[in-house]
Amino acid sequence: MQSVSVKQVPTYSPQLLDEAIAAHFDALDVASDLTPESRVLIKPNLLAGRAPDLAVTTHPEVLLAVVRWLSARGITKITLADSPGGVYTPASLRKTYTACGLDVLDDFLTLNEDITASNKDGFSIITPVLEADYIINCCKLKTHGLTVMTAGVKNLFGCVPGLKKPEIHCMKPTIGSFCNLLVDLAEVVRPQVTLLDAIDCMEGNGPGGGSVRHMGYTLASRSPYALDEQATLLMGLQMQMIPILRIAKERKLLSGTTQLLGDTLRPANPPFTLPDAVLGTESIFTPKGIFHIVFGRKKAFPRVLTRRCVGCGLCAESCPKHIIKIVNKKAVISKKNCISCFCCQEMCPAHAIEAK
């Protein structure tokens, strides 16, 4: 049986977070896995360089609490690594760390600037992930225009370096094929623990352009699938709406019963507002998700809200099909060849891309 540890944590107070991390890691017996020699990787969600209070990225106070817990056990070989959206260079990583408020971690761990990667079981994976003995997957709870929600499993897509991610979107253009690949990737990376920052979450046009929704929880599990299942319930959503969970269940990676440890989990009421790209099809979701599996999301396309566009080009950089051009300082999308992955919307800092 899979277990998920639940703690109510109303704010990002260091003291409350220390208590929550201690309770989670006690419940999951994490200490018995580790020695002072362990090389631990912390894998946050650093989608883009955004301030912590926007709820796009894992909050630095959560990461600091994990580091304090590890340091108290004599563990010093700690690395934080992620491949954010867009290019993957030492300069872009450093910029992202600063924007996400992670410079405070510099004294306590290594903020990765190694941009090499190697192949493992068919995936290109960033080196710090491959070199770690122990992976703590520190994800953020958000809605997502393609996968409906992102928490533990989707966070591991950041183990794939830079612009290899858009290549994968091209190879797996339907929701079913892409989510199957995310599950394959989770099985390759196999984090020992997944910890969810669900204190300030994101609803609406997540994972980059939604609104902050305060829930006041952290969750932890040995299983990213069980954690995602409980995170879905916390959002007030149904499990069958989430393609990753349907696939995990079909592949028997998600057992029928999950043991909840710790506090009571109170689902969001009203449920999280879904992204534009999902809302249009919500009413025809079926328990088996036949609609998505058969049709993909071919009816939703991105549209640029020209008055908001600042011409930064981040959408063009992340588009796997290279169909976005900047013309007169505004993004222009050619709908032909669009695979509706919404990477462009995900990366837009100006909320200038909507789904139609």
Q: Contact with ligand SF4 (CB under 6 A): which of 4, 168, 186, 352?
A: 352
d(CA 123, CA 160): 7
Is the CB of 247 or the CB of 331 nearer to ligand SF4? 331
Q: Is 237 exposed, middle or buried (0-12, 13-18, 19+ CB in 10 A)?
A: buried
Q: Any alpha helices (H) in the chain, and if so which ranges? A: 14-27, 60-71, 90-99, 127-131, 152-155, 164-171, 175-189, 224-234, 243-250, 276-279, 290-295, 314-318, 343-347
Q: Which residue has the tokens 């999301």?
A: 297
Is the CB of 47 or the CB of 304 nearer to ligand SF4? 304
Residues linked to residue 136 through DSSP beta bridges, in sequence order = 42, 193
Q: Contact with ligand SF4 (CB under 6 A): which of 41, 139, 185, 331?
A: 331
What does the angle CA 244 – CA 157 – CA 273 come to, to the nearest 5 degrees?
A: 55
332 binds ligand SF4 per the rule CB under 6 A: no
Q: How far is the CB of 349 from ligand SF4 (least distance, A)?
A: 6
152 binds ligand SF4 per the rule CB under 6 A: no
Using the contact rule CB under 6 A, the part of the chain among 70-78, 267-275, 285-293, 335-343 near ligand SF4 is 335-343
C-alpha distances in angstroms, 181 versus 1, 84, 145, 284? 24, 18, 17, 24
Report DSSP letters for 140-180, one per residue.
EEEEETTTEEESHHHHGGGGS-TTHHHHHHHHS-SHHHHHH
Residues linked to residue 47 through DSSP beta bridges, in sequence order = none
Q: Contact with ligand SF4 (CB under 6 A): which of 7, 52, 344, 354?
A: 344
Is the CB of 222 or the CB of 292 nearer to ligand SF4? 292
171 binds ligand SF4 per the rule CB under 6 A: no
Q: Contact with ligand SF4 (CB under 6 A): which of 196, 222, 321, 354?
A: 321
Buried/exposed 79-88: b ≥16 CB within 10 Å, e otherwise: bbbbbbbbbb
Residue type for position 16 = L
339 binds ligand SF4 per the rule CB under 6 A: yes
Residue type for position 174 = T
CB 44 within 8 A of CB 57: yes
d(CA 136, CA 123): 20
Residues 270-309, one symbol each (x = binds ligand SF4 by CB under 6 A, - = not), give --------------------------------x-x----x
Joined together, the tokens standing for residue 287 give 């328990």
User: Distance between terminal CA atoms of the chain?
Assistant: 42
Using the contact rule CB under 6 A, the part of the chain among 211-219, 232-240, 278-286, 339-347 near ligand SF4 is 339-347
Using the contact rule CB under 6 A, the part of the chain among 31-39, 134-142, 210-218, 326-334 near ligand SF4 is 326-334
Is the CB of 10 or the CB of 311 nearer to ligand SF4? 311
Is the CB of 181 or the CB of 319 nearer to ligand SF4? 319
Using the contact rule CB under 6 A, the part of the chain among 46-54, 101-109, 243-251, 340-348 near ligand SF4 is 340-348
Q: Contact with ligand SF4 (CB under 6 A): which of 288, 310, 325, 356?
A: 310
Is the CB of 42 or the CB of 353 nearer to ligand SF4? 353
348 binds ligand SF4 per the rule CB under 6 A: yes
350 binds ligand SF4 per the rule CB under 6 A: yes
Contacts to ligand SF4 by CB under 6 A: 302, 304, 309-315, 319-321, 323-324, 326, 331, 333, 338-344, 347-348, 350, 352-353
